[in-house]
Amino acid sequence: MNSMNWMKVFAVGALSIGSFSSTAAFQATAQEPPKVYDASMPREQQITLAESAAPAEVSSHATVYILGPKGYEKAREGTNGFSCFVGRQFLTPTETTIGPQCLDAEGSRTLLLVYMHGEELRTNGKSEAEIKADIASGYKEGRYQNPNKPGLLYMMSSENRLSLTSDKSNGIFPPHLMFYAPNMTAKDIGFDSQRPLDDLDYLGMTHPGQGDNLIVVIPKTSTAPASPAAR
């Protein structure tokens, strides 16, 4: 899927899935999401938005982080090893992404530290380019680690605004799941090359061949196979 590099370009599309148990904060309050997601959003609204990333059975027992003046702050201690928060990056000086997500225990051990430090740099006025360079150095120097066992992070919120808004686009990316796939390429999942994978609208990779690569899956409603009598 060409839009699967979720740190750069995102497609806008509809997704048909069953009723999801979490209610997005913006839907609940009938408000438009802010252009810039920051610490000015009320605490409870930040928590609800973070929880919207995963099924309630998961997010209600997760540790939740919210944005404060100096970066992420723990709003609630969880019991299941998952961590939920709303990721962001500046697309322009006046607009950020809004990415509710819940990481499993392995992601909380590894990737969460990267997000935390990145946001600390962001609140201290560092540019996205400077943050990206610092994180790259962190991996190279061993300050950060990629997940070293299978796992996933939920981004199943309907409020995933991951690209710039315009008169023709609200910037929303469909609810999706992301699985840790360090150093994997399209060939590892059965494709001869990356191009056929890019053409799919439900499956992709963020950074093929790199340590921070993730497999992205956009769930769709399944259709039961026809019964033998109906064939």
Domain ranges (residues) in the chain = 2-177
Handedness of CA 32, 33, 36, 38 (dihedral sign): positive
Assign 162 a pLDDT band (cuts: 50, 70, 90): very high
Q: What is the pLDDT of residues 62-76, one digit of tens each?
A: 999 999 999 999 999
Q: How high is the pLDDT of residue 167?
A: 85
Query: For the segment 175-216, what is each residue's pLDDT rounded down to a tens digit?
Result: 999 999 999 999 999 999 999 999 999 999 999 999 889 999
Whose structure tokens read 């027992």? 61
The pLDDT score that the predictor gives to residue 65 is 98
What does the alpha-carbon distance between residue 218 and residue 15 come to, in Å, rounded to a whole number? 8
pLDDT tens figures, 4-34: 443 333 322 223 233 333 334 444 444 678 9
Is the pLDDT confidence value at 231 over 50? no
* pLDDT score of 179: 97
For 205-223, b/e burial (b = at least 16 CB within 10 A) is: bbbbebebbbbbebeeeee
Tokens, residue 79: 């019991």
pLDDT score, position 189: 95
> Residue 73 pairs with which residues in a beta bridge?
66
Q: Using 50, 70 and 90 to split pLDDT, how confident is the model at 109?
A: very high
